């Protein structure tokens, strides 16, 4: 079984997880959920945004939910923010888009989590490599990361 910065971080934190390697390319959220034996709302997307001052924030959202820009700007007390470019995502997280995880980051990053993540006992997020995911208890994810919880979708 391959290891990634994500699995190394989870091992170091003694967090139990299961690494799921997809047989082929993952083309949709629904496919990823189905192949991992989960509902789409249990797949966590780790989205990176660039703030006005050039810093970055990661927002964790459940499955098909969309970030509500107005809610996120209001929470961050900003008038402007943008989605990070693929190059910025790789530079800031060390992971390519589609494999991003809040675990194993090269430097600390402000982390927000939509409260909808509290609705599931089991969650899956990027494993740090393409076409793979880690599945773990939501409680472990939230305890280990201590993200700022808020209403960021709409």
Domains along the sequence of the chain with CATH = 5-150 (3.90.960.10)
Which tokens belong to 140?
């472990």
- pLDDT for the residue numbered 2: 82
Measured CA to CA, the distance from residue 117 to residue 63 in angstroms comes to 9
For the question of whether the overall pTM of this predicted structure is more than 0.75, the answer is: yes
Q: What percent of the chain has pLDDT over 70?
A: 99
C-beta of residue 136 within 8 angstroms of C-beta of residue 142: no
110 DSSP β-pair partners: 57
Q: What is the pLDDT of residues 104-140, one digit of tens each?
A: 999 999 999 999 999 999 999 999 999 999 999 999 9
Intervals of the chain under pLDDT 70: 1
Give just the sign of the alpha carbon dihedral 113, 117, 123, 126: negative
């Amino acid at each position: 079984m391959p290891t990634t910065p994500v699995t190394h971080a989870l091992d170091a934190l003694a967090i139990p997880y299961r690494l799921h390697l997809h047989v082929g390319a993952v083309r949709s959220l629904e496919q990823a959920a189905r192949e991992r034996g989960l509902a789409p709302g249990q797949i966590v997307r780790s989205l990176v945004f660039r703030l006005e001052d050039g810093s970055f924030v990661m927002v964790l959202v459940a499955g098909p939910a969309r970030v509500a820009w107005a809610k996120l700007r209001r929470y961050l007390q900003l008038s402007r923010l943008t989605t990070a470019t693929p190059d910025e995502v790789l530079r800031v997280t060390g992971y390519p888009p589609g494999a991003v995880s809040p675990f194993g980051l090269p430097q600390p990053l402000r982390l927000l989590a939509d409260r909808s993540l509290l609705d599931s006992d089991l969650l899956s997020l990027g494993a740090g490599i393409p076409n793979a995911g880690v599945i773990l208890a939501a409680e472990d994810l939230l305890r280990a990361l201590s993200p700022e919880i808020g209403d960021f979708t709409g």
